[in-house]
């Protein structure tokens, strides 16, 4: 049985795409997802499955739009909680606790996970602009 969260994550995205772009005659669809759609996380199996579903749905729609040559690009942005830094714990859906990790780049020191809201907004702005007119079916 589907929960209301699954309906929002999957059905909501499907219905939005179904009614949005064909009428507009082209453009950019940017679906928001989560890093949980890219990798597993203990205690978040249902959440990971729905967010992974959004990612694969976007890729499939991108291929269909490209085949139709209708000028519609489809990409996903995978958000991470801004509190997932410095190895601190965070709480996901249903109180599941996860531990974040940090990656080290030899040239830049410790890379931030998640970024600030403006970092995400800049990526979305790029995907919505003509500067990304060659990108479809990609995850940011």
Quick check: 82 pLDDT over 70? no
| Mean local confidence (pLDDT), 25-54 | 87
Domain span including residue 56: 4-132
Angle at alpha carbon of residue 6, lines to 100 and 115, rounded to 5°: 30
Task: Please indicate, yes or no, if residue 54 is contained in any of the structural domains.
Answer: yes
| Mean local confidence (pLDDT), 80-90 | 48
Alpha-carbon separation of residue 13 from 2, 55, 74 (angstroms): 15, 10, 12
Q: Which residues are catalytic?
A: 47
Q: How many domains does the chain have?
A: 1
**Over pLDDT 70: what percentage of the chain?**
69
Task: Please indicate, yes or no, if residue 139 is contained in any of the structural domains.
Answer: no
Alpha-carbon separation of residue 60 from 6, 37, 64, 114, 123 (angstroms): 19, 15, 6, 26, 21
DSSP conformation class of 139: B
List the CATH number of the domain containing 70. Answer: 3.40.50.720
**Over pLDDT 90: what percentage of the chain?**
28
Taking the complete model, does pTM exceed 0.75, yes or no?
no
């Amino acid at each position: 049985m589907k929960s209301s969260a699954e309906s929002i994550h999957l059905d909501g995205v499907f219905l939005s795409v179904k009614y949005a772009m064909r009428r507009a005659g082209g453009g950019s669809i940017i679906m928001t997802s989560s890093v949980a759609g890219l990798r597993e996380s203990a205690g978040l199996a249902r959440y990971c499955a729905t967010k992974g579903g959004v990612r694969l749905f976007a890729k499939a729609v991108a291929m269909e739009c490209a085949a139709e040559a209708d000028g519609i690009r489809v990409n996903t942005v995978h958000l991470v909680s801004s509190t997932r830094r410095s190895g601190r714990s965070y709480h996901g859906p249903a109180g599941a606790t996860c531990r974040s990790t940090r990656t080290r780049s030899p040239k830049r020191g410790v890379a931030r996970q998640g970024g600030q809201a403006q970092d995400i907004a800049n990526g979305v702005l790029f995907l919505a602009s003509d500067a990304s007119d060659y990108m479809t079916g990609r995850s940011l």
